[in-house]
Amino acid sequence: QSALTQPPSVSGSPGQSVTISCTGTSSDVGRYNRVSWYQQPPGTAPKLMIYEVSNRPSGVPDRFSGSKSGNTASLTISGLQAEDEADYFCSSYTSSSTSLYVFGTGTKVTVL
Amino acid sequence: QVQLVQSGAEVKKPGASVKVSCEASGYTFTNSYIHWVRQAPGHGLEWMGIIDPSGRGTTNAQKFQGRVAVTRDTSTSTVYMELSSLRSEDTAVYYCARAAAYSSMTFDYWGQGTLVTVSP
């Protein structure tokens, strides 16, 4: 089971919007609406930001939004803030015989 | 509030085993699955396995079959992950994570992580 593909890094100035892509296959992202996004500041545990493609858990700012088209899911951060600087990972349920879940390769978001 | 508290860092030699614990609090332990995920230095996240604390079993990633054992103790609300035949590539931070009640395929709370270092 290969990892989902994310860009290594994206950057933006405060107030701008950035979008992170997460590309999988018809066995995972394309097949299930079970895509989640996690934020991981350096040296800390991941934090859930988006679940089931576009849902935000309680407490997550509405600046964070998710979407999906075909085999690619996306996370958009609008009105970028300094505190958003972190690594972001996507994950998806998968029909693979080798694993139930697959994670993305990770994207470093830098606030300029 | 929901908390998952993991055991401390470990240093092991190749071929040895390691057992990491994850103590849950703030919710009904048997109501939510617990996952194990690891992150090698400078790398992404890798799903290892899942346990149903109510006793209905475990499922592990094929990569770890035969090397990983996930168990639970309901009396202490603790889940354990034991990885055997350790090799240098197993050096990583190991996380336990709870499956969300509102979406079982989502990890809503994570432990603080346990660094396991495998070195001769």
DSSP states of B6-27 as a string? EPPPEEE-TT--EEEEEEEESS
Nearest chain A residue to B62 by CA distance is: A98
pLDDT tens per residue across span A42-84: 889 999 999 999 999 999 999 999 999 999 999 999 999 999 9
Site of tokens 């990885």? B83
Q: 3-class DSSP state for residue A34?
A: coil
CA atoms within 13 A of residue A58's CA, in its CB half-sphere: 3
Q: How far is CA A18 from CA A25, A41, A76, A83, A107, in A?
A: 23, 17, 6, 14, 11
What pLDDT band is residue B27 in, cutting at 50, 70 and 90? very high
pLDDT of B106 above 80: yes
Count the Cβ atoms, other than its own, within 10 Å of residue B29: 21
| C-alpha closest to that of B1 among B31, B21, B20, B24 | B24
**Mean pLDDT of all residues in B71-99:** 96
Whether chain A has a CB inside 8 Å of the CB on B62: the answer is yes
pLDDT tens per residue across span B108-117: 999 999 999 9
The pLDDT, as a whole number, for residue A64 is 98
pLDDT of A1 above 70: no
Give how far A51 is from chain B: nearest CA, Å. 6
Q: Out of A47, A98, A106, whose CB is closest to B63?
A: A98
Whether chain A has a CB inside 8 Å of the CB on B65: the answer is no
Distance of CA A7 to the CA centre of its chain: 11
**Angstrom distance (rounded) from CA B117 to CA B91:** 5
Residues of chain B contacting A105 with CB distance shorter than 8 Å = 44
Residues of A with CB under 8 A from a CB of B: 1, 3, 32, 34, 36, 38, 45-48, 51-52, 55, 57, 89, 91, 93, 97-106
Residues of chain A contacting B102 with CB distance shorter than 8 Å = 51
What pLDDT band is residue B104 in, cutting at 50, 70 and 90? confident
What pLDDT band is residue A98 in, cutting at 50, 70 and 90? confident
Q: How far is CA B119 from CA A87, B19, B21, B66, in A?
A: 27, 16, 21, 22
Nearest chain A residue to B98 by CA distance is: A48
| Burial (0-12, 13-18, 19+ Cβ within 10 Å), B47 | buried
What is the residue type of A21?
S
